[in-house]
Amino acid sequence: MAAKWIEALTGSLEQKKQYKQDKARIDGLPEPYATAAKAMHRYLMYYGGITDGDTLTQMFTDLADLWERASIDGTPVGDIVGDDPVEFAETFAQAYGGTQWIDKERARLTKAIDDAKKEEQ
How many C-beta atoms lie closer than 10 Å to residue 40's C-beta?
22
pLDDT, tens only, 23-45 = 999 999 999 999 999 999 999 98
Residue 73 banded pLDDT, cuts 50, 70, 90 = very high
Domains of the chain and any CATH numbers? 2-120 (1.10.1900.10)
Find the length of the chain. Answer: 121
Residues in a beta bridge with 50: 100
* C-alpha–C-alpha distance, residues 117 and 16, integer Å: 43
How many C-beta atoms lie closer than 10 Å to residue 99's C-beta?
14
pLDDT, tens only, 102-119 = 778 888 899 999 989 888
Q: Please work out, in degrees rounded to the nearest 5, the angle formed at the alpha carbon of residue 84 by the alpha carbons of 102 and 82.
A: 125
